[in-house]
Amino acid sequence: MKSEAGAKAVIRIPRVAVDRLLGSAAEKTDPTTLAREAGERAATETARLNPAPTPVSLEQAHVLVGEPVYETENAETATFLVESRVAAVGEADLKVEALMAVSVAVLCLRDRCQAPGEEVEVVSIELVAADREGTQ
């Protein structure tokens, strides 16, 4: 028996901030990797942060930060899709872990991109899948 959950978030970032963000990819660790790692770590720490936790032993926690998408060639903002997928052996409710992973990843990206006069918008954060014992 395996339990899984997934979540997604959308963040809109100004082009100048995206250029700065992707330009820093040559640094030791690029911001999208930092966001991914922070989200995965957050999923594993959810029980510690919750005042009434249900103990869960995660088998996997993955976060994917997509490439920037521009609506047009001259668009002033880019949209990033951030997705998470968490899994555990046994019956478990993993919705909070999945949501925590994308939330922390998006907040990490926002923190790395926000500059005075540049509006970074978290458009949405939502649960996309929760599966226990092969049922949705």
**Would you say 76 and 16 are in contact if contact means Cβ atoms under 8 Å apart?**
no
Q: What is the pLDDT of residues 105-120, one digit of tens each?
A: 999 999 888 777 788 9
> Coil, helix or strand for 30?
coil
The answer on pLDDT for 136 being more than 50 is no
The answer on pLDDT for 25 being more than 60 is no
The answer on pLDDT for 54 being more than 50 is yes
Mean pLDDT of 76-96: 92
Residue 106 makes CB contacts below 8 A (sequence gap 6+) with: 9, 11, 35, 82, 122, 125
Q: Work out the percent of the chain whose per-residue pLDDT is above 90.
A: 55
Region of poorest pLDDT, from 60-74, 102-116, 121-135:
121-135
Domains defined along the chain, listed by start: 2-132 (3.30.70.640)
**Banded pLDDT at 9 (limits 50, 70, 90):** very high
Nearest of 64, 108, 66, 65 to residue 86 by alpha carbon: 64
Distance CA 119, CA 99 (A): 23
**Banded pLDDT at 91 (limits 50, 70, 90):** confident
Residue that is written with structure tokens 């249900």 in the block? 54
- Rounded mean pLDDT of the chain? 87
Number of C-beta neighbours around residue 53 at 10 A: 11
Question: Where would I find the H helices in the chain?
Answer: 15-23, 31-49, 95-113
